[in-house]
């Protein structure tokens, strides 16, 4: 019976241990955790290390630079003429090239008028010359007879005639001589009119438009065709006023103007030169107008396959004067238009610029930057004068 009673108590002890022991371990762990949390050393707060920006620089170099001025313009004819007939007549023949686009050299025949009326008129004038010359010879004979009669009369009367000119028929002789000169002039005029029936090119030209055909009846001063000279074309370019100082114009001190490269839309290139500065400004843009001359625009001497066309729009690169002892900088170096960032002693320095000239890519600086200065070409989100920087070298062009 005792054995049985002890065996019934043992399970409760085991159960108590199983329940109490985990609770004790959990409580001890919590107590240790709280103790460690409360006794941990406090972390010291400090400023994060400063981040110094890395910048790219280019070295300023002092040298001479040629100014190139970009401009736009339209091609026009340097010589344009409305060719008119000097005489009236019937268009007998025309040249096969007497069509728009036809090219002629100076003196080549464009068309012919019927010459027959003028040939007949010339024959009449020549016949009149012969008749007048005969009258002159007769009058000279009459003058010789009058001279003999006057001499005989003075000898018989013993007196001299007060006005012998009338007796010697000098006025009549002068009249016939004048008539002869007049009819000779008429012959010359008839020859000129006959020559004018053959209408020739007055200069090297291209037919831009024609107003007559073979068989047309034309009158004096009637327009026959519109001609454009082919020795040279002009381009009227518009340029800002402040850029004129760099362009060389022909004048008393110089024979030639600045050279010009002319580019068409199909990338054909032509050589020209500045010819004149026009005396007015463009109506809408108020820009100055410069006249550029392009010789041999049709490429006849160079055997060019693509001729320059009148009224075409072109791009010009005008070779201006040379700027001596200046520094060329990439345009992206300019900050706020007229300042630049310079790297000196690992610091950023903001310096003002005195810009002499600028184009789409480059600034030409007169002062504000010295040769050897490290010019910052990279962008910074925030730039303060005197801030610390790290420098990464670039090439001399800032590329």
Look up the CATH number of domain 51-78+232-399: 2.40.30.170
60, 375 contact by CB (below 8 A):
yes
Per-residue model confidence (pLDDT) at position 6? 46
| Cβ contacts of 265 within 8 Å, gap of 6 or more | 312, 313, 314
In the predicted model, what is the mean pLDDT of residues 57-84? Answer: 91
- Sorting pLDDT into bands at 50, 70 and 90, what band is 136? confident
Q: Which of 47-51, 78-82, 218-222, 245-249 has the lowest mean pLDDT?
A: 47-51
* Mean pLDDT, the chain, whole residue set: 84
Query: Which is more confident, 364 or 153?
Result: 364
Q: Which of 108-122, 207-221, 345-359 has the lowest mean pLDDT?
A: 345-359
- Sorting pLDDT into bands at 50, 70 and 90, what band is 5? very low
Residue 43 has pLDDT above 80, yes or no: no
In the predicted model, what is the mean pLDDT of residues 20-48? Answer: 66
Q: Where in the chain do CATH 2.40.50.100 domains reside?
A: 84-227
Nearest 5°: phi and psi at 84?
A: -120, 150
Distance CA 66, CA 236 (A): 23
CATH class of the domain defined by 84-227? mainly beta
Measuring CA to CA, which residue among 119, 95, 89 is closest to residue 107?
Answer: 95
Strand bridging mode 347-352 / 288-295:
unpaired
Per-residue model confidence (pLDDT) at position 41? 63
Per-residue model confidence (pLDDT) at position 182? 93
Q: Which of 192-206, 207-221, 382-396 has the lowest mean pLDDT?
A: 382-396
Residue 10 has pLDDT above 60, yes or no: no
Measuring CA to CA, which residue among 239, 246, 243, 293 is closest to residue 270?
Answer: 293
| Report field, pTM of the whole predicted structure over 0.75 | no
Residue 193 has pLDDT above 70, yes or no: yes
CB atoms inside a 10 Å sphere around CB 274: 24
385, 351 contact by CB (below 8 A):
no
In the predicted model, what is the mean pLDDT of residues 240-262? Answer: 88
Distance CA 244, CA 69 (A): 9
Most confident of 139-153, 168-182, 208-222: 208-222
Q: Where in the chain do CATH 2.40.30.170 domains reside?
A: 51-78+232-399
CB atoms inside a 10 Å sphere around CB 79: 16
In the predicted model, what is the mean pLDDT of residues 70-97? Answer: 95
Per-residue model confidence (pLDDT) at position 82? 96
């Amino acid at each position: 019976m005792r054995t049985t009673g002890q065996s019934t108590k043992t399970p409760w002890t085991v159960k108590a241990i199983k329940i109490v022991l985990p609770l004790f371990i959990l409580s001890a762990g919590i107590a240790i955790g709280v103790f460690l949390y409360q006794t941990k050393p406090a972390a010291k707060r400090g400023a994060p290390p400063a981040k110094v920006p890395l910048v790219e620089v280019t070295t300023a170099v002092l040298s001479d630079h040629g100014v190139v001025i970009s401009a736009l313009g339209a091609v026009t004819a340097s010589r344009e003429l409305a060719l008119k007939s000097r005489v009236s007549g019937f268009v007998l023949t025309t040249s096969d090239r007497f069509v728009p686009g036809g090219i002629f050299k100076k003196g080549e025949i464009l068309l012919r008028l019927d010459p027959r009326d003028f040939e007949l008129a010339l024959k009449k004038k020549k016949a009149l010359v012969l008749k007048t010359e005969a009258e002159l010879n007769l009058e000279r004979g009459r003058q010789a007879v009058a001279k003999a009669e006057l001499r005989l009369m003075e000898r018989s009367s013993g007196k001299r005639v007060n006005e012998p000119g009338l007796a010697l028929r000098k006025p009549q002789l002068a009249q016939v001589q004048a008539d002869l000169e007049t009819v000779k002039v008429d012959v010359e005029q008839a020859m000129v009119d006959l020559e004018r029936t053959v209408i020739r090119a007055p200069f090297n030209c291209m037919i831009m438009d024609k107003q007559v055909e073979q068989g047309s009846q034309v009158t004096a001063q009637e327009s026959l065709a519109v001609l454009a000279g082919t020795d040279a074309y002009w381009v009227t370019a518009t340029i800002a006023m402040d850029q004129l100082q760099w362009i060389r114009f022909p004048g008393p001190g110089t024979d030639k103007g600045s050279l010009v490269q002319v580019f068409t839309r199909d990338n054909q290139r032509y050589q020209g030169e500045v010819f004149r500065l026009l005396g007015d400004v463009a109506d809408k843009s108020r820009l100055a107008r410069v006249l550029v001359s392009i010789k041999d625009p049709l490429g006849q001497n160079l055997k060019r396959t693509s001729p320059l066309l009148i009224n075409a729009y072109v791009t010009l690169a005008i070779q201006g004067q040379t700027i001596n002892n200046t520094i060329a900088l990439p345009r992206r170096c300019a900050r706020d238009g007229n300042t630049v960032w310079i790297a000196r002693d690992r610091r950023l320095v903001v310096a003002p610029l005195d810009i002499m000239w600028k184009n789409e890519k480059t600034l030409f600086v007169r002062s504000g930057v010295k040769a050897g200065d490290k010019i910052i070409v990279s962008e910074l989100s925030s730039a303060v004068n005197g801030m610390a920087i790290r420098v990464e070298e670039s090439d001399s062009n800032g590329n």
